Structure 1
């Protein structure tokens, strides 16, 4: 494979998005260069804060094993999240009942629901609740709003726990719009928090369609709690096209991928 240096580094980053890690020996074989050249590329990418070198290769950089607070998440990849939220909102039809998961990406959907008629929203997100209430008081949103009650997590501005799970069990929705912290073909969708992950799993169970909203920074990451396999998801909405190596799997499992514009 004859590629210039920057294209080779792009290949390395693409493999990290797919697998979450790369091995020096595999890169030597696939790129047909020396191990010294690969080590130099990995050093340069680490200096650019795009990966973390480990013995025998590198892993995708994951700055924290803990979930950032809601306020911190609001400023991360904000433009990408806005595009994803707008694209996801186009999937909502008049008279739909929808679950809106906690997350700053799903929150961006709400601004684009105002022209929909008779929408019922069920959510665990307190910022989503406030936004919907504000729009309803301004007569910009006319549908029903349900906050799925339980233990309040103040750092992440959401409701979780067994009470919330039991409440979710009592509702069925047309569509569930889900937020995730990691996305890989083999590992599925994953999250930082087990309690929140269990609620997301219940959304999937009780919805006719499950729709994941994820920017490309989540590709190749695996977090603490496995929420579901990708085959359990109907649609993925992202700011980027699906990695080419995922396409056959997505087609085989009938998962639709939407790249937001």
Structure 2
């Protein structure tokens, strides 16, 4: 069976199942191995046709998220899953944590659902994903960015300033030893700074493609980050540069 035929069948089964299925369901229905199904789902996610979830997939419309967020969630999916698993291991019952609106941070959700923690976030997808879980949720108030599906603005910053967290989990568009953290716009950079200011420890979740990269707006020095969680694809020499700069690196 060619990939194009499998693709059509997978999308058809997603529609029939109400928009969400797991790998085992697809493998049984299509008489394929789990490995083949996972590979096909990753390919469909890269095309923006589905959103990969923990153990399966969903149609973008099911989560009522815009194409832009779905597309970002699909990019570097395997790397984000690896990063999320390692980062989640740093979270223990009783923690109060900040989670920003990045797609890598969003990937934490399946791994923290059973933890008895408090999550403070400006991300609507994070709230939707954790609504029926053991997690206590605190949604930041303010103006909603419909495309980003996140809350931003002065009111949001004021809200964040009222709270303290044990750990902040944030993402950036680029990070380098020389120039620190950078973003593609001021809106996200401002919220990231607000979260980091109120946290005892800051974890930067960043796939290998963003390491050593400087983007449009450089908004914070590397010293604000205590822990960098990245994926195994990160080159040893790049990782060592961050270690030499005093950052703990998990990959």
TM-score > 0.5 by shorter chain: yes
Match of 1:187 in 2: 179
Decide whether aligned partners of structure 1 residues 220 and 86 sit closer, same or farther in structure 2, where only a CA change above 3 A counts. same
Superposed, which structure 2 residues align to 1:1-80 within 5 Å? 69-80=68-79
Match of 1:255 in 2: 247
Tell me if 1:223 matches 2:215: yes
Tell me the TM-score normalized by structure 2. Answer: 0.69
Unaligned stretches of 5+ in structure 2? 1-66
Match of 1:46 in 2: none
Match of 1:127 in 2: 125
Match of 2:83 in 1: 84
Q: 217-226 or 171-180, which moves further after superposition? A: 217-226
Tell me the TM-score normalized by structure 1. Answer: 0.67
The count of residues paired between Structure 1 and Structure 2 equals 185
- Report deviation, 1:129: 0.8
Contact 1:185–1:246 under 8 Å retained in 2: no
Match of 1:238 in 2: 230
Unaligned stretches of 5+ in structure 1? 1-67
**What is the root-mean-square deviation of aligned Cα atoms in Å?**
1.7
Higher RCO, 1 vs 2 (CA within 8 Å, ≥6 residues apart): 1
* Bigger radius of gyration among the two: 1
Superposed, which structure 2 residues align to 1:197-208 within 5 Å? 197-208=189-200
- Report deviation, 1:246: 4.4
Match of 1:60 in 2: none
List per-residue Cα deviations over 1:53-102 (Å, max 9, x = no partner): xxxxxxxxxxxxxxx92122021111111111111110001100000011
- Report deviation, 1:250: 3.3
- List, as ranges, runs of 4+ consecutive aligned residues in structure 1 with deviation greater than 2 Å: 240-254
List per-residue Cα deviations over 1:186-227 (Å, max 9, x = no partner): 111111120211110111111011000011111232112223
